[in-house]
């Protein structure tokens, strides 16, 4: 469909008004196709390079779950698009070296690399293939992940929420817990950014205990006021994971004894009213049939796009897509690589950010990014 739209735009470009070509056709293309279109003519190049166009283009991109493929020399990053034909893993980028993914926001990824001195952090944009080190985070080198990344709208800065002292300087910030109740004794699963708030569900305390209390709340961080508050959560028998579903919060639990995944959806954000939406029996008899026996280690990530809920199961280095009826939809396997579904999502962007230049970031020609093309 995208290639056909681009072909029609080129064929009829001289007869269609430029406004329709740019704002109804080109703005809907994925980043790679749009970059190719810039070579058609100078007018298209100018129009699609303007910041207002790039912001509109970013707004039309889907927010897709991130899938990583590990190997000893690097990591391939994919976006899982269930809307595409045959449920595709779309190649996004290849990072040379043992990088990990710590956070994402507005098409930007925070990647971490562990060395002899601890962790180092970098910010990257896979769509523009730019990467820059966050040297001001050197004092956080023994922290493997951040709590979240967000756009601080009052200043226009991108900021990271971490555990320790405040550092500023990359048109963004690394900031400690600011204001309100500081949930420092707790550990958290991945966050969900929604309505200018970061949301986490507390998992366990630092002693390794797993306090199951009926009143355990969702921890919320307001990214505008930069203060914490708490939200009511449903009573669940197992520690849940949170995700975004159709513009609202959702959470799921996985019972490893019964192989059942339960999914709750926040029906009313203001009233904090939750509904138990799905109960999915995982098809392990069919999945294990690919390998001859039941694998002990596995985990599930639940995601949603355009009202379509899917489950991604990591099992024996492969990835299996299951729908809410418990039906196996697709199997992904890359020889020599182990596939992992992240809780992070990627909404690609071609918007330019000055901090890549300020931080001495790599450009397209010198970046450690590599292109990857894998047949699935």
Same domain, 50 and 66: no
Same domain, 223 and 269: yes
Same domain, 20 and 107: no
Same domain, 43 and 68: no
Same domain, 363 and 260: yes
For residue 107, tell me if it sits in a domain: yes
| Residue 86's pLDDT band (cuts 50, 70, 90) | low
Tell me: pLDDT of 313 over 90.
Answer: yes
For residue 23, tell me if it sits in a domain: yes
What whole-number distance in Å separates Cα of residue 148 and Cα of residue 248? Answer: 18
Domain span at 43? 2-54
| Residue 87's pLDDT band (cuts 50, 70, 90) | low
Tell me: pLDDT of 132 over 80.
Answer: yes
Supply the pLDDT for residue 51: 95
Residues 274 and 290: beta-carbon distance below 8 Å: no
* Residue 288: CA count within 13 A, CB half-sphere: 12
Q: For 128-151, give one letter per residue: b (16+ CB within 10 A) or e.
A: bbbbbbbebbeebeebebbbbbbb
| Residue 114's pLDDT band (cuts 50, 70, 90) | confident
Same domain, 168 and 110: yes
Tell me: pLDDT of 121 over 90.
Answer: no
What CATH number corresponds to the domain at position 152? Answer: 2.120.10
The candidate with the shortest Cα–Cα distance to 353, out of 172, 195, 174, is 172
Tell me: pLDDT of 142 over 80.
Answer: no
Per the prediction, the chain carries an average pLDDT of 80
* Residue 56: CA count within 13 A, CB half-sphere: 15
Percent of the chain with pLDDT over 90: 43
| Residue 28's pLDDT band (cuts 50, 70, 90) | very high
For residue 335, tell me if it sits in a domain: yes
Same domain, 21 and 72: no
Same domain, 176 and 277: yes
Same domain, 145 and 42: no
- The count of structural domains within the chain is 2
For residue 375, tell me if it sits in a domain: no
For residue 376, tell me if it sits in a domain: no
Supply the pLDDT for residue 208: 43
Give the residue from 10, 25, 54 where a domain finishes. 54
Same domain, 224 and 253: yes
For residue 29, tell me if it sits in a domain: yes
Same domain, 272 and 229: yes
For residue 50, tell me if it sits in a domain: yes
For residue 181, tell me if it sits in a domain: yes
Percent of the chain with pLDDT over 70: 76
Length of the chain measured in residues:
376
Give how far Cα 146 sits from Cα of 80, 116, 255, Å: 23, 20, 27
More confident residue, 179 or 281: 281
Mean pLDDT value of segment 284-293? 83
Same domain, 200 and 347: yes
């Amino acid at each position: 469909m995208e290639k056909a739209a681009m072909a029609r735009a080129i064929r009829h470009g001289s007869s269609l008004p430029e406004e329709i070509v740019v704002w109804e056709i080109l703005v809907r293309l994925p980043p790679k196709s749009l970059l190719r279109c810039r070579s058609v003519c100078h007018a298209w190049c100018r129009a699609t390079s303007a910041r207002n166009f790039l912001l509109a283009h970013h707004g039309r991109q889907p927010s897709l779950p991130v899938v990583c493929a590990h190997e000893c020399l690097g990591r391939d990053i994919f976006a899982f698009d269930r809307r595409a034909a045959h449920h595709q893993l779309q190649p996004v980028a290849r990072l040379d070296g043992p990088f990990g993914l710590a956070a994402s926001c507005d098409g930007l990824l925070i990647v971490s690399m562990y060395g002899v001195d601890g962790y180092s952090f970098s910010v990257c944009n896979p769509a523009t293939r730019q990467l820059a080190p966050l040297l001001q985070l050197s004092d956080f080198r023994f922290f493997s992940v951040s709590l979240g990344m967000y756009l601080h709208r009052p200043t226009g800065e991108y900021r990271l929420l971490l555990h320790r002292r405040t550092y500023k300087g990359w048109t963004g910030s690394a900031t400690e817990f600011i204001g309100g109740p500081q949930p420092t004794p707790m550990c958290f699963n991945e966050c969900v950014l929604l309505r200018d708030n970061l949301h986490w569900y507390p998992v366990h305390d630092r002693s390794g205990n797993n306090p199951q209390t009926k009143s355990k709340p969702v921890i919320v961080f307001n990214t505008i006021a930069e203060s914490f508050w708490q939200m009511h959560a449903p009573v669940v028998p197992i520690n849940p994971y949170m995700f975004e579903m159709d513009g609202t919060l959702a959470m799921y639990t996985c019972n490893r004894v019964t192989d059942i995944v339960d999914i709750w959806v926040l029906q009313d954000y203001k009233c904090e009213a939750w509904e138990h939406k799905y109960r999915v029996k995982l098809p392990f008899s069919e999945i294990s049939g690919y390998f001859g026996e039941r694998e002990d280690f596995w985990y599930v990530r639940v995601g949603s796009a355009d009202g379509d809920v899917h489950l991604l199961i990591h099992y024996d280095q492969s990835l299996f897509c299951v729908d809410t009826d418990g039906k196996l939809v697709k199997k992904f396997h890359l020889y020599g690589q182990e596939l992992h579904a992240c809780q992070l999502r990627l909404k690609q962007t071609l918007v330019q950010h000055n901090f890549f230049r300020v931080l001495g970031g790599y450009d397209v020609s010198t970046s450690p990014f590599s292109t990857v093309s894998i047949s699935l």
